[in-house]
Amino acid sequence: MNFQNLSKTFLFLVILTVFGSLSIVVASQAGDESKEKQESVKQKASEHDHDAMMEKWKEFSTPNENHKVLDTLVGDWDYTIKWWMSPDAKPEESKGTSGIEWIMGGRFIEQTVEGTSMGQPFEGMGIMGYDNEKKQYQSVWIDNMGTGVMTGSGSYDPNTKTLTDQGTFSCPAEGEKSFRAVPSFT
């Protein structure tokens, strides 16, 4: 190879290296700009999603007219409850006192009960509220007659002024059982 050919080859390699390097730098810068733009778009979408989520959460957590239905129950009461162990059984009767108050900023009511049931002292506590997401009333009940937790859900009928609450509880003799309660608001 002569000097002139070597010189042309060297020049060609230099030019190739320079243009190759420039291409890499330009592509790298374009890639960086593209990544920055993508991150900016993601950030704006995330902020929008966050704002929308916060608005939904505010709506979800705010008591409304469905919560006001429970206001009728708030107070101190004497109660008599009749219940049946089975449809063909004679009804059992429980009597006592109950105190119901608003808790958690008007989102739930808490009920405490003292009385007698099946000839024994009875204590119980319940929480009830309206779930804005599920669009139904939710209830939880515990008492000194067992270690299980009774849970239920239901709806309010303004025409009959009744709240139908259905759910399950643990029965030591039969396992999980269902219940249905229909208190009327007078």
Provide the CATH number for the domain around residue 87: 2.40.128
- Residue 86 confidence (pLDDT): 82
Which of 20-34, 35-49, 113-127, 129-143 has the lowest average pLDDT? 20-34
Q: Check whether residue 154 and residue 111 sit in a common domain.
A: yes
Q: Check whether residue 174 and residue 109 sit in a common domain.
A: yes
Q: Check whether residue 78 and residue 29 sit in a common domain.
A: no
Question: pLDDT-based confidence at 10, cuts 50/70/90?
Answer: very low
Question: pLDDT-based confidence at 22, cuts 50/70/90?
Answer: very low
Cross-strand pairs, 95: 80, 116
Distance CA 91, CA 82 (A): 6
Contact of 74 with 101, CB cutoff 8 Å: yes
Q: Which domain holds residue 167?
A: 66-181
Residue whose C-alpha is closest to residue 128's, from 146, 113, 144, 147: 113
Asked if pLDDT for residue 165 goes beyond 80, the answer is: yes
> 111: which 2 tokens?
């009920």
Q: Check whether residue 56 and residue 107 sit in a common domain.
A: no
From 32, 61, 90, the end of a domain falls on 61
The percentage of residues in the chain with a pLDDT greater than 90, rounded to a whole number, is: 48
Contact of 157 with 137, CB cutoff 8 Å: no
Asked if pLDDT for residue 125 goes beyond 90, the answer is: yes
**Start-to-end Cα distance in the chain:** 111
Q: Which amino acid is at 103?
A: I
The percentage of residues in the chain with a pLDDT greater than 70, rounded to a whole number, is: 76
Q: Check whether residue 25 and residue 85 sit in a common domain.
A: no
Residue 186 in any domain: the answer is no
Residue 175 in any domain: the answer is yes
Which of 16-25, 33-42, 131-140, 142-151 has the lowest average pLDDT? 16-25
The CA–CA distances, whole Å, from 83 to 69, 94, 129, 132, 171 equal 24, 8, 23, 30, 15
Question: pLDDT-based confidence at 32, cuts 50/70/90?
Answer: low
> 152: which 2 tokens?
């239920």
